[in-house]
A and B are shown apart, each in its own frame.
Chain A
């Protein structure tokens, strides 16, 4: 609180106006006050020298002013404005986002502040303080009251008075305590007594016991999404196992056997578990070594084909060989329909004099150095076929006339089924085997043809191979004199057969005499048709993959012939200058086929491009003396495998010219495969048929 003091009027020659007393003190002009002081000084000086006489003593530094100037009136206005206060305070207004001047500026000037300690009577603080101080005050009042009381009822007796006094004193005490906690206890005014007693405090005793800490182990793990997934899978599997156990009847012997197996496994050096991984690594290592071949296989397309017009080339890729099979020749090749990189090689010998053991070997394109599966056999293999739907079942025909079925899933090297002399094995080498559709009892079955003139159907019934003679190939008209004058028909030697792709019962058989018979599974004694195909044994007979009427045949008489089964004469004949070992249609085009000859060449034809010549004739083996024995097209990739008589299998990639598809006209969508192919073939055939018709 600023101390109010009067503003004094300035006593000066120049007049001044003083304003309200309580207004802030006005600042006086310094010059005026100075002058006043000087005048006072002069006046006192005057007083001293009063005896000497009035003389004005001018200080040396006094302003020299003229009379006019001295008489000039200066008006001084005392205002309530604080001269130190700023006149133009500007504040930033966020609303208007600019600086705005404040309308009125605070004019208060504080000269002196002193905190006082007076409280108003009725304020809270005052009441509180009174409350605290109220006790001694009341005590005084009460005591006076008590003092009064014993005085007044003096007649009551001293006891009473004492009692009362005591009571009064007690009352005083009580009042004290009461005053201390004012709003709490309202005690009896007359005979209140407070009693307290102290109980015996029992001595405190501390007791503790220590146990052995529970064993601790540190555990750390990560909880990833896949770990959770794994655990869930495990739980699921356990649940399923439990379900199965609940259903199945437990056998004690089996359990014991299993336990023994378990023990053995754990004792072994666990190297067997590395098997799968080792296989992967081997393939990787091979991929690295044959990296360029793998790249070629996948990506290389011969660019020079654009300049070559019609011709194409075969690019050699991997070469497959197995040391133990070096002296054997490749007698059969077959691609696996389900695993497109797996193919089977049958090894044996075509040489009549050099018959010995044989081998069934499976290779994968992913590993060209070592076969995936190896099955050594006692007799040379002459043919094999892999089941279309069950990629682990392989039917094999041997030189000694047996047929066998191998199951690749089994760990044994023995076939699961083998025909014996009792069960109707052939008496001559089996030249071809082919799987058929499952019969009505859902048993697998396959056919075989052999030089003994029989076409036999073998059915896998439980653990046995049951055979059924389908047809006996007899030479027309030829009858030989058997013992006791019985006339026995001479059997023709079947060397190859093929089943029609769509018509189930229809099949073709090629014989050693060079004839091709069209047969039906239904008729066991008669042929539907016979074609005088070749002059020598028919090595291969194959139906076209697309066109239902066309088939191809090749023979050691150097020729390859294409037929329409409704016409007795061949549609096309090609002379290849060497004995043709095998011929195969391509799976992607109805007019492309390839043949291998004993001079080591592969001849590729595309009838839609060139009807008279091969579009590619390429030797594929290094040494000229090696004879090529078999050829197969891969169902998916543009590669072919060629087997030769030294046990090698060479894989080759077909260049683009060999894989030509019909050009699509602009604007039209690509027509569906098979129909186009059939149409293509039909067109070719019709060209040939018309002149025939016209001639006829």
Chain B
């Protein structure tokens, strides 16, 4: 579904490879890359699920980050794990992006 990827630099290829490794890792159900506005720019899941995950997790991450920084402004959120009965959602925020991975750890 996603448009063609243009590789400009070896660094980009490295990142692409890393993402591919994550996607093919054991137990990983889906991967979503979300930009700063909450719009998913890359995903391996279907559209509706992606939009849902992106919107909800974006807000949650903002809240979590705000909490961490409020407690100590020199601190910052590194990652967020939400473990549920069925699987685990891992969110790693960046200044501009948000990477969401859903994994089933018990597999």
Residues of A near any B CB (own CB < 8 A): 222, 224-226, 228-230, 264, 268-282, 284-286, 288-289, 291, 369-370, 411
Contact = CB atoms under 8 A, between A and B. Distances in A.
Q: Which of A222, A229, A271, A279 has the most CB of B within 10 A?
A: A271
A543 B21 CA distance: 42
Interface in B8-24: 8-12, 14-16, 18-19, 21-22
Interface stretch (B43-51, B52-60, B86-94): B86-94
Interface in B49-73: 66, 69-70, 73
Contacts of A271: 5, 12, 15-16, 19, 33
Contacts of B103: 285, 288
Contacts of B73: 225-226, 228-230
B88 A277 contact: no
Interface string B32-50: 0101000000000000000
A274 B70 contact: no
Contact of A281 (B12, B14, B92, B105): B92
Chain A interface mostly helix, strand, loop or mixed?
helix
A279 B69 CA distance: 23
Nearest to A226: B69
Across the A-B interface, the 4 shortest Cβ-Cβ residue pairs? A226-B69, A229-B73, A226-B73, A288-B105
A269 B6 contact: yes
A270 B69 contact: no
B18 to A, nearest CB: 4
B96 A270 contact: yes
Contacts of B99: 274, 277-278, 280-281
A370 B19 CA distance: 12
Given A284-B101, A289-B26, A275 B92 contact: no
Contacts of A268: 6, 8-9, 12
Nearest to B75: A226
B92 A225 contact: no
A658 to B, nearest CB: 31
B84 interface: no
A289 B70 CA distance: 33
B19 to A, nearest CB: 6
A272 B14 CA distance: 9
A288 B96 CA distance: 26
A230 B28 CA distance: 35
Contacts of B33: 271, 274
A228 B10 CA distance: 37
Contacts of A264: 8
A274 B94 contact: yes
Contact of B11 (A272, A277, A279, A286): A272
Given A268-B6, A282-B18, 16 more contacts: A222-B66, A226-B69, A226-B73, A228-B73, A230-B73, A268-B12, A269-B12, A271-B33, A272-B9, A272-B12, A273-B94, A277-B92, A281-B90, A284-B92, A285-B28, A288-B103
A284 B81 contact: yes
Contacts of A282: 18, 21-22, 25
A361 to B, nearest CB: 15
A70 B69 CA distance: 108
19 contacts: A224-B66, A225-B70, A226-B73, A268-B6, A268-B12, A270-B97, A271-B15, A271-B19, A273-B95, A276-B94, A277-B93, A277-B98, A280-B78, A280-B79, A281-B22, A281-B79, A281-B90, A282-B18, A285-B103
